[in-house]
């Protein structure tokens, strides 16, 4: 690996005698890891665990995840192991019954799906992405994960300053110079420079300063990067302490994890830990910048909600159902007013779970319902498909259900819902979203099931 000379010099100064081991680690294959969605499956694979994440596992090799229907069902997420360390900050310091959490720089969704699992239906998760082109994949991944207490937004960090004292936790996985991704992304090596490190450091401070007012007094700021240098990591944390009055919080970690810390956060180095380069620090906000006053307007019309949703949903009474433009949605009742307030402040891409759409006198169930924890699966006839049939369905090709009655069929693979099809007898209407469809040719030789 041809590393930039200035990067080598700076990292040698940082690591000292460990540098040779560090550089050698960059020539090895990057570990492959996944995080299970325990809301969808309680089966634990016989794999090596990621020690700092309760549902994280290492794979021995990288399969073609596109060829695994369980991946598309949201049964697991492919996430770099080091970044799963966020779980420790959440579990050790967020002691709120119904927390409001913001993932500010969320696409493609690794930390947001993790936070959704940690919240386990409690409180509210706002998953934000400033780049419009990236927010679509974020929304798709959050839909597949299936949590109902999630709002996806497309806003600049400065927009959140209007929400003073709204969040109990703000996660800022800041755009950075990408040093920790050198092993996986050759382009990040070519783009690296000392000047870019400086620009990134300055931008990171602006992002944190912009969003900081939205954090409650005593709330948690989790700051992370995929870099090693002190400018973007320790020096920025020091700035947050001195300029913003934040309190740095320690994490109780095992010495066996081989995570490095010099007192201003936690570093993952590839020669020490089984993962990519990563840095994380947890800070507590001191003085209050005021509190946000909730708006009182309703989220949307809640009239004319079809009665069939009482049969389609688990615990329908726990959710506020509403309609907009012939479509129907569900939000947990406890956060409905908060989401209504967010609608007047932010650019909301999606909120809660899309249940279906009215078409004449009928209601067409939405794929989001099939993938969500709200679905009462007994309300629909199920068709558990073979691998080839499931891939055909995900490619949005014709799938037949000769053994099913006419009507809506919940399409599954290995027990995991994938979406809906309307069985017409001699054929079926495949309603899988066109923008999600698999474009690769089916190749079962590339399918390697997570659960053997």
Residue of 275, 289, 205, 220 lying closest to 250 (CA atoms): 220
What's the CA gap between 222 and 75, in Å, rounded? 26
Catalytic residue status for 226 = yes
What's the CA gap between 153 and 132, in Å, rounded? 10
Residue of 371, 369, 385 lying closest to 311 (CA atoms): 369
What's the CA gap between 154 and 403, in Å, rounded? 44
Catalytic residue among 105, 200, 226, 412: 226
Residue of 133, 216, 200, 209 lying closest to 168 (CA atoms): 216
**Residue 182 backbone dihedrals phi, psi, to 5 degrees:** -55, -40
Do residues 259 and 246 make contact, with C-beta atoms less than 8 angstroms apart? no
Between vectors from CA 179 to CA 175 and to CA 183, what angle results, nearest 5°? 120
Close Cβ partners of 41 (under 8 Å, ≥ 6 residues apart): 75, 415, 416, 451
What's the CA gap between 80 and 226, in Å, rounded? 11
Do residues 109 and 137 make contact, with C-beta atoms less than 8 angstroms apart? yes
* DSSP SS3 for 245: coil
Give the pair of three-digit tokens for residue 13.
Answer: 């100064």
Query: Which residues are designated catalytic?
Result: 226
């Amino acid at each position: 690996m041809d590393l930039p000379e200035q990067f080598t010099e700076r990292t040698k100064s940082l690591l000292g005698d460990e540098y040779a081991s560090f550089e050698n680690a960059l020539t090895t294959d990057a570990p492959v890891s996944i995080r299970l969605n325990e809301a969808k499956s309680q089966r634990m694979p016989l794999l090596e665990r990621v020690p700092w994440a309760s549902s994280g596992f290492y794979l021995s090799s990288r399969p073609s995840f596109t060829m695994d229907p369980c991946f598309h069902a949201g049964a697991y997420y492919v996430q770099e192991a080091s970044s799963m360390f966020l779980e420790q900050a959440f579990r050790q310091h967020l002691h709120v019954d119904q927390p409001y959490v913001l993932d500010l720089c969320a696409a493609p969704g690794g930390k947001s799906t993790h936070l959704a699992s940690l919240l386990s239906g409690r409180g509210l998760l706002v998953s934000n992405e400033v780049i419009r082109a990236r927010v679509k994949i974020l929304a798709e991944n959050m839909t597949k994960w299936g949590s109902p207490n999630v709002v996806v937004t497309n806003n600049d960090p400065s927009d959140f300053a209007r929400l003073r004292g709204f969040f109990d936790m703000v996660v800022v996985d800041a755009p950075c110079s990408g040093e920790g991704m050198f092993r996986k992304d050759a382009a990040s090596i070519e783009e690296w420079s000392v000047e870019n490190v400086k620009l990134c450091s300055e931008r990171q401070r602006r992002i944190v300063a912009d969003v900081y007012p939205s954090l409650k007094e005593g709330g948690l700021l989790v700051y992370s990067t995929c870099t090693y240098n002190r400018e973007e990591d320790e020096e920025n944390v020091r700035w947050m302490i001195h300029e913003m009055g934040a309190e740095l919080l320690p994490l109780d970690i095992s010495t066996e994890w081989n995570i490095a810390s010099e007192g201003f956060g936690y570093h993952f180095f590839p020669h020490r830990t089984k993962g990519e380069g990563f840095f994380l620090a947890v800070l507590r906000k001191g003085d209050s910048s005021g509190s946000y006053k909730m708006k009182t307007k309703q989220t949307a019309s809640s009239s004319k909600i079809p009665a069939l949703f009482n049969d389609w949903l688990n615990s329908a009474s726990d959710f506020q159902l509403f309609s907009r433009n012939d479509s129907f949605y569900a939000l947990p009742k406890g956060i409905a007013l908060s989401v209504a307030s967010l609608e007047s402040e932010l650019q909301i891409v999606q909120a809660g779970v899309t249940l279906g759409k009215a078409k004449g006198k009928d209601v067409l169930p939405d794929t989001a319902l099939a993938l969500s924890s709200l679905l009462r699966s007994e309300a629909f006839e199920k068709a558990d498909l073979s691998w080839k049939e499931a891939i055909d369905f995900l490619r949005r090709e014709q799938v037949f259900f000769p053994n099913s009655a006419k009507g809506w069929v919940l399409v599954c693979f290995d027990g995991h819902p994938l979406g809906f099809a309307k069985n017409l007898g001699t054929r079926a209407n495949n309603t899988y979203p066109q923008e999600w469809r698999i474009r690769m040719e089916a190749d079962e030789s590339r399918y390697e099931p997570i659960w053997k």
